[in-house]
Amino acid sequence: MTQYELVYRQIAAIKERFVQRPQLGTLFAQCYPNTLETTTELLDDGTTFVFTGDIPAMWLRDSSAQVHPYLPLAAEDGDLQRLFRGLIARQAQYLQIDGYANAFNREASGRGHVQDIPKQGPWVWERKFELDSLCYPINLCYKYWHVTKDATIFTHELHEMFRTIVKIMRTEQHHDSASEYHFERPNPWAASDTLPFDGHGTRTNFTGLIWSGFRPSDDACRFGYLIPANMFAVVVLGYLGTLARVGFQDETLALEAELLRKEVEFGIETYGTVLHPRLGRIYAYETDGYGNYNLMDDANVPNLLSIPYLGYRPVDDPLYQRTRAFVLSPENPYYFVGKAAKGLGSPHTPHGYIWPIGLSMQGLTSQNPEEIAQVFECLANTTAGTNYMHEGFHVDDPTQFTRPWFAWANSIFSEFFLYWAAQTPVGSRR
């Protein structure tokens, strides 16, 4: 039997369905299994190490997102269950080593950004505190358990991971007064690689929101309350409450998660919106709780575009739709329109580079068949002949791209491919 047999059955079904467009079959056959074939290591201790591609470290965020497209198959595929159980276990181990780190080494090798201040431990590749790095492991646990009902994931280590996450989130609600976290990178490649004010970041007011030093792009936040990450926290704290009860019969932890969830949601809806002069009230990307806002969106998920994908609000929510209209417009400084494509980019890459992750998310959160079709064709036609997704490509010339090996981009495109295919008639040329 082939390892991950259901994954390759899915590939065969797509190839057969789109036999009149063989390039699509090739594209899916390369992107969909990319994480399994190139970035996943099943270790002897039963855990799973999933690195990002061209960087040999495991990000809590990326590793969770990279395996996400395989979740619908996990209930019937024992190989995938082994992979997910092992990844959940390794993430739990990492978060006990350092709950503020975003990326880790396979072993305690001391590799990574060794000059950062304060000095990090040998397991840590990078210690940029990103709120979403606490959210993604909970999201992975809940969705895996929801699909498989596999109770073997409910270990002591996982229980401690949940406790650690809630404790850190509580602390970072009071970052300026209660947190010891700070981060500086001497001689950074870019200013966004370090935090200002001796590594503590810009000042924030208490709002119920949770502070984050860095965005999902690994760039420093301009203002400490990153609204999309807090939205993700609201969703996963609900998941954590369920898992605490079902897996550990821990009513105290469940109630603490649910109270924290309510406080964060209050903070988002009270302090995280702003009145746009053309569109009306929309969500801000960042705020400090003092009335300052950063109006933008970044292609990395969680972002404002991904609100319904995260599960924070439904796709037809009027506030989301107004926010989406801003995000996908030139008023967003990181929405680019060029000769070859238009879409969401990031300050993490050069100006004028569109991210396939952003395009895939635009498609996944659209209810407009024409928009879905247009976004799909754009992605299919901008791989520069590689049949892989990249980190970003130039808006006028897709042959200029960053990161030829970026498994997260391949995975989320595969999710979008299946979403698009479900709505596309057999034999369609769209």
User: Do 409 and 390 meet the contact criterion of CB atoms below 8 Å apart?
Assistant: yes
- pLDDT, tens digit, 9 for 90 and up, residues 194-248: 999 999 999 999 999 999 999 999 999 999 999 999 999 999 999 999 999 999 9
**CA 315 – CA 338 distance, rounded (Å):** 27
pLDDT at 366 over 70: yes
- pLDDT, tens digit, 9 for 90 and up, residues 381-403: 999 999 999 999 999 999 999 99
Q: What is the rounded average pLDDT of the residues 288-306? A: 98
- Say which amino acid occupies 152: T
Q: What is the rounded average pLDDT of the residues 63-78? A: 98
Burial class (CB in 10 A: 0-12, 13-18, 19+), 297: buried
- 3-state SS of the chain is CCCCHHHHHHHHHHHHHCCCCHHHHHHHHHHCCHHHHHCEEECCCCCEEECCECCCCEEHHHHHHHHHHHHHHHHHCHHHHHHHHHHHHHHHHHHHHCCCCCEECCCCCCCCCCCCECCCCCCEEECCCCHHHHHHHHHHHHHHHHHHCCHHHCCHHHHHHHHHHHHHHHHHCCHHHHCCCCCECCCCCCHHHCCHHHHCCCCCCCCCCCCCCECCCCCECCCCEEHHHHHHHHHHHHHHHHHHHHHHCCHHHHHHHHHHHHHHHHHHHHHCEEEECCCEEEECCEECCCCCEECCCCCCCCCHHHHHHHCCCCCCCHHHHHHHHHHCCCCCCCEEECCCCEEEECCCCCCCEECHHHHHHHHHCCCCHHHHHHHHHHHHCCCCCCCCCCCEEECCCCCCEECCCEHHHHHHHHHHHHHHHHHCCCCCCC
Token representation of residue 392: 């970003």
- Say which amino acid occupies 339: K
Token representation of residue 415: 């999710």
Q: What is the rounded average pLDDT of the residues 137-162? A: 98
Q: pTM value?
A: 0.97
Q: What is the rounded average pLDDT of the residues 334-348? A: 97
Calculate the average pLDDT of the chain. Answer: 97
- 405 against 429, higher pLDDT: 405
On the CB side of 389, CA atoms within 13 Å amount to: 32
Q: What is the rounded average pLDDT of the residues 110-123? A: 96
Query: Percent of the chain at pLDDT above 90?
Result: 97
pLDDT at 310 over 60: yes
Q: Which of 417, 411, 393 is nearest to 23 (CA)?
A: 417
We find that the CATH architecture of domain 5-423 is Alpha/alpha barrel (1.50)
User: Do 387 and 381 meet the contact criterion of CB atoms below 8 Å apart?
Assistant: no
The pLDDT value recorded for residue 2 is: 83
pLDDT at 1 over 80: no
The pLDDT value recorded for residue 426 is: 63
* Range in 62-66, 114-118, 186-190 the model is least confident about: 186-190
Spell out the domain ranges in the chain.
5-423
pLDDT at 430 over 70: no
How many CB atoms sit inside 10 A of residue 30's CB?
18
Query: CB under 8 Å to 288, separation ≥6 — which residues?
Result: 202, 203, 204, 205, 223, 224, 225
Q: What is the rounded average pLDDT of the residues 329-337? A: 98
Q: What is the rounded average pLDDT of the residues 130-150? A: 98
On the CB side of 206, CA atoms within 13 Å amount to: 9
- List the beta bridge partners of residue 41: 49
The pLDDT value recorded for residue 424 is: 83
**CA 139 – CA 152 distance, rounded (Å):** 17
Q: What is the rounded average pLDDT of the residues 152-163? A: 98
- 387 against 2, higher pLDDT: 387
Confidence of residue 187 (pLDDT cuts 50, 70, 90): confident
Burial class (CB in 10 A: 0-12, 13-18, 19+), 71: middle
Confidence of residue 429 (pLDDT cuts 50, 70, 90): very low
The pLDDT value recorded for residue 387 is: 97
Q: What is the rounded average pLDDT of the residues 111-128? A: 97
User: Do 302 and 135 meet the contact criterion of CB atoms below 8 Å apart?
Assistant: yes
Q: What is the rounded average pLDDT of the residues 302-331? A: 98
Token representation of residue 237: 């704290």
